[in-house]
């Protein structure tokens, strides 16, 4: 079985300061908003919908970042081939609010602090996603 998810690294600029959005997932880990594709959606639509659902922020896709692939075992479906597509997404509206059913919190951080938190408390496979987003934004880590 194959499962496709999508999400993004959301950013904004306030008074010429760059901010990166990170979520804290239900397990207390630093992560990025993402979720499963629904029937009839494109991967891009999935990414934008999941960002709104999990964080309250509306965005527009600036560029693709990368794709993570892995396998996991589902109790009834067996081995699942999982693909997660990540995009660089600029926040264009909405109000920052965590979807409490899915995540513990969502906040904006300076790029260097976002990178520090990812390296300290994030999932290893998100390192290259956040690094790729920062590179697209002109920030070296």
Distances in Å between the Cα of 43 and the Cα atoms of 14, 33, 84, 91, 96 are 28, 14, 9, 18, 23
Burial of 68 (0-12, 13-18, 19+ CB in 10 A): middle
Number of domains the chain is built from: 1
Q: Is residue 55 part of a domain?
A: yes
- CATH number for the domain including 68? 3.90.79.10
Residue-range definition of the domain harbouring residue 94? 2-136
pLDDT in tens, the chain (141 residues): 999 999 999 999 999 999 999 999 999 999 999 999 999 999 999 999 999 999 999 999 999 999 999 999 999 999 999 999 999 999 999 999 999 888 999 999 999 999 999 999 999 999 999 999 999 999 988
Q: Is residue 44 part of a domain?
A: yes
Distance in angstroms between the alpha carbons of the first and the last residue of the chain: 36
Which residue's structure tokens are 């010429």? Answer: 16
User: How high is the pLDDT of residue 83?
Assistant: 97
Angstrom distance (rounded) from CA 56 to CA 130: 20
Q: Is residue 141 part of a domain?
A: no
Which pTM was predicted?
0.94
Residue 101 has a CB neighbour count (10 Å cut-off) of 8
């Amino acid at each position: 079985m194959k499962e496709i998810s999508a999400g993004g690294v959301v950013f904004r600029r306030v008074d010429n300061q760059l901010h990166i959005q990170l979520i804290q997932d239900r397990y207390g880990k630093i992560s990025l908003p993402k979720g499963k594709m629904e029937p009839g959606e494109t991967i891009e639509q999935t990414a934008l919908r999941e960002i709104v659902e999990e964080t309250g922020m509306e965005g527009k896709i600036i560029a693709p970042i990368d794709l993570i692939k892995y396998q996991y075992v589902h109790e009834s479906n067996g081995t699942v081939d999982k693909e997660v597509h990540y995009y660089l997404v600029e926040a264009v509206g909405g109000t920052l609010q965590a979807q409490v059913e899915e995540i513990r919190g969502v906040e904006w951080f300076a790029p260097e602090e976002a990178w520090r938190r990812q390296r300290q408390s994030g999932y290893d496979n998100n390192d290259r996603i956040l690094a790729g987003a920062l590179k697209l934004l002109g920030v070296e880590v």
